[in-house]
Structure 1
Amino acid sequence: MDFFEKFYLLFIIEIVLIAISTISIVVTAYDKLAAKHFQRHRILPEKLLFALVSLCGSVAMFLTMLIIHHKTRKKRFMIGISVILILQISIIVVLYYLKILDSFYNIGTIFLHLNDNIGYNSKIHSGGYARMNTNAGMNLLSIIALCFTIIMASRHIIENKYKSRNYIAVSVITIILLVLEVIAEYYLTSSNVNDVVLHRVVNILGFILCPTVPYVLLLFCYNRQRSNNLLIIIVTLPLYINLFLCVISYTTGWIFYVDSANTYTRGQLFFIPTIISILYYIFMIIAMLKSREDYDRRDKYIFLVILFSPIFAMLIQILNSDFLLIWNSVALSLLLYYIFLRELQFTYDMQTEVKNRTAFDTAIDQLANRKNNAIICVFDLNNLKAFNDEFGHRLGDMILCECAKLIKESFLKEGKTYRIGGDEFCVICIDTSIDAVEQSLVKLKDLLNKLNKDRTDKIQIAYGYASYNKHESDTAYTVFSKADKEMYKNKALMKQ
C-alpha cells in the first residue's frame, strides 16, 4: 500500500471521527437542555450516550459534559467514560506496537482497488491533492457545525440581540474563511498561470478577514451600553492598517506573494495579521477577566480553555504552514462557546438581562463556603401594579427593564444584580465597604431622578441592605431577610 493510499484511508477515518465527535457534542448539549427545560420523556436514553462514547466519541462527550456541567455528579458517567477512553487508547497503542494496524491498511487497499473503475485512486496522484481533500473534508464539517449554531442563535437570543448579532457575524466570517482556505489550497496545487489573479485576491480576502474574527468576539465581550467610542476607534484602527497592507500586497508582496508561476510565498510582513489577531485575543481575555457582572470565576476558566484552542492552532500553523488548523479550531471553539453560553443563559432573566433567581440561590449558597464578607442589597419597585393597571403591562415591563438597567449600572463595580421576584431585585456585593454601597445608592438616586425628570408618573425604588460577616453566626439567608425588612421600612417611609 503506497503513501497516498494510506493517507486517503487515514483521511476517511479522520472524517468519521470528526463526525462522531460533532454528533456527540450536539447530543450532549441537547440532553442538557432536555433535562432542564423539556419534559422527562424527551431526555435521551443513557444507552445512546454510551453508544456514542464506545464509537470513539468519548473525548468530545467528556469535554462537553465538563464544560456545560452535565452529568458530572453521576459517577456512572464520569468513571464509565474515563474507563472507555483509557481502553480505547490502550487498544490503539497495543495495535500500533503489534503492527496490526498494517493489516487494516492492507484490507483498506483491497477496497480502494475495488473502486479503481470509478476513479478514486486516480484522484490521489499527488501529496497536494491528498492534503487538499483532507482540509476540504474538515472544513466542510466545520461549516456544517457553524451553520447549525447560526440557525440556533437566530432562533434563540444569546443574552441580548446585540450579542446574538455579533455571534452570528463571527460565525459567518469564519465560514467565509473556511471556504477561502479551501479555494487557496486548490490554487496551491494548480499550475495554471491564469489562476494568479484569483489566487492573489483569495489570499487578500483571507488575510483581511483573519483579524476580524477576534475583533468581533472582543465586541461580543463588551456591553454596548458601556462602550467608549474613542476606545472602539482605537481598537478598530489595526483592522484598517491590516486592510491597507493586505490590499497593496497584491503588488508589493509585503504580506504574501504569488508570482507569475502561481507559486505562493510568505511576505516580510506576513506576521502582521497574526499579531493583530493575537492582540485582539489578549484584549478579549483582559475584558473577560475584568468583567464582574457577566461571568463567575468558574465560567472564566471554561472561557479561557475554549479560547486557548485557536491560539494554540495559530502558533502551530505559524511554525508549519502545512498544518491548516486555525479556522477549524475557531469553528470548534465557536460551537463549544455557543453551548457554554446556552448553559450560562439558564442563569439569566431574559426580560431584564440580569441574573435570575436560580443564579441568586446559587450565589447565596456559595457565600457560606467562601471566605468573604458581603453586603446584600434588596430593591423593590413601588406601585408597579398600579402602572400595569393604568397604562398596561407593556409600559410596566418597560419600567421594570429600565429599573433593572439602572440598578445594574449603579452597582456595576460593586456586585452582581439579580432579579429575585416579579419587581424585586437584589445585589450581592462581595468584600465591599458600606461607603461604596452608599455611593452606589446615591448614583442610583441620581439616575432615577434623571429618568423621572420629564415624567408625570414618577418611578420609585425602595431599598434596604444588611452586612454578612463570615465570622458571625448569621447565615446568608438570615442577612438577606434582614435586608428585605430594611427595604420594606424604606418603602413605608416613601409612602408617607
Structure 2
Amino acid sequence: MNRKQTDFFSSHKLYILFIFTTLLITIVGLFIDNFSLRFFTKDALIFTKGWTVTVDHNVPELADLNDYSFECSAYKTNISLKNTIPAGIPKFSTISMPLDLSTIDVYISNKLVYSYGSELYNKGLMVGSGLHFITLPTNCSGENILIVIRPSEDGAFTRLNNIQIIDTNDVYSLFIKQQIAKFFVSVFLFTFGLLLILVGISISIYARRLNVLISVGLLSVSIGLWALTSSKTNQVLQPDFAVNSIIEYMTLYFAPFAFLLYITSFYASMNKTLRLYYLYCVISMGIFNIVAAILHFTNIVHLSRSLYIFYLVCMPIIPFIIILALKANNSSNDNNRKIFSIGSSIIIITSILDMIRHIIMKYIFVELSYDVGSLIPYGTFFFLITLIIGYDLQIYKTMSIEFEKRTFEKLAYTDALTRLGNRAKADNDILDYEKSNKDYIIISFDMNGLKKVNDTLGHDLGDKLLVTFGEILTEVFGEIGNIYRFGGDEYMVLLDDAYFEHIPLCITRLIYLEESRSKDYPFEIDTSYGIARSKELKDSSQSSVYKLADNRMYEMKIATKRQRD
C-alpha cells in the first residue's frame, strides 16, 4: 500500500473517530440531562394540569400546559393562567417556573405575592429570562392562583410546561441536582477559560506577542457564561434576570468571534483565497457584535431580537471551519492541527445540532415537558480537553460549597415572617460599622398591643400586624438604613450617624403611616421606640448602644401606658 493510500485511510479513520466521539458526547450529554431531570423531578409536584388559559381576552380554555402552545407578540399579548393550589403540598412551598423575556405577576386569592419585569416592560427595555421562584403563603392549598404574563418580545416563548411545586427548603439544591451536568460543564468551561486567559497573558508579556491561549480562554469563558445563564444556574450568584439575559446573548454572539481569533494561529498556512474568506468571517462577526450591542444599549433593537440574524452571520463561518479542518488534517503532521481538526469539527456539528434543537423545541415539539438542553457546551468541553488534559475536577466541589454557603447565609440572616434581617444580620452589620470605626444610630422599636391582638383577633391577624409594621419601617427607613426583626414584637433600625438629622421627620412619617394603615385593619398599629447614637458612649460597643436604645424605648413604653391609664 503506497503512502497516499495510507494517508487516506488514516484520515478516514480519524473522521470516523470524531463522528463517533461527537455522537457519543451527544448521547451521554442527553442521557445525563434527561436522567438528572427525570430522576430529581420526582421530588417535585408537576403543576401543569387543570389551568384555565386566557389569551388577549379570548374565550378561556381549560388546558394541560404540556399540550398547549403559545403565540406571543411583543407588547400586545396578555396571558392569564388560573388554577387552584393542589392539596397535599408542604406547608412552606415554592413554585418554580421558567419564563423567557416576559413580565409575570402572581396572585393568590387576589393578593399579589410575586411580580417581576413591569418597570422594564413599561420603559420598553428588554425583560430578562429566568427561573422564577414564587414563595407561596403557608397552608394555601385550595386557594386560587392567577398568573398574568406579558411578553416583551415576539415569540418570547411557545410553552410553559415545566412548572413545579417544591418544598421551599429544597428549592436550590433540587434545582442544581436537575441541572447537574450543565452546571458541571459550565463551571469547568468558565473557570478553566479564566485560567487560560491568565496563562496566555503571562506568556504574551514574556514572549512580547499574543498567545493563542488567550483566544481559547475567551471562547471557553464565553461558552461557560452562556451555558450558566441559558440554564439559569448562575441565578445563585446573579439574581438580576435582565443582566443575566444580556450576558446570555452577548456571550453567545461573542463565542464565534473568539473561535475565529483562535484560528489566527493557522493564518500562515492559509492560501490567499482562504485568508480573504477568513477576514470576511472575522469582520462580519465583529461588526455584528458591535452593532447588536449598540442597538441594544440605545434601546432600538434588543439583543434577543438579533438571534436569527446571528444564525445568518454564522452560516458562512461553518463551511470555512470545515474547509480549514479538512486542510489541517490532510496537509499537516502536526498533532495540534489534527486535534484542531477533530475539536473544531465537533464544535461545528454540535453548533448545527443546537440550532436545529432550538427551532424544534420552540416551534415543533412544544408538548415535551423538558428541553433536552444545549449541545454546544459539551462540544466545547471536548474541544478543550483535546487541547489540555487532566484539569482538576475540584472546581465543581468548590463552587457547590460556595453555593451552599451563600444559600445558608441568606436563610440564617432573614426573618421568616417579615423577610427583614434578623438579630444575626443586625449583629453582623453593626460589627462592620465597628470595624470601620464609623458612628452609627440604633432605633429600637417595640409593638404595643400585640398580645391583645393575638388573644382577641387570632394569631393570623397578629402576624399581619407584624408584617404590616415591617412594611411601614421599610417604607420610612429603607432608603437610608437597614431594618431588622428580632422575633416577637421587637424591631430595630440601623442608620449611619450622618442621617441623625433625618430621624425626627422619619418618626413623624412613621406615626402618620401607623395611623393611616390602622384604618385598614381591625387592630391599631402603635409602637414605642428609643434612639441611641454610638458617639454618646465612651464604650460604644454593640451591646451597650443597643441597651441604651432599648432602655429609652421602654421608658417611652411606660410613659405611654401611664398616659393611657
TM-score, normalised to structure 1, is 0.43
By percentage of residues, which structure has more helix?
Answer: 1
Task: Give 1 or 2 for the bigger CA radius of gyration.
Answer: 2
By percentage of residues, which structure has more strand?
Answer: 2
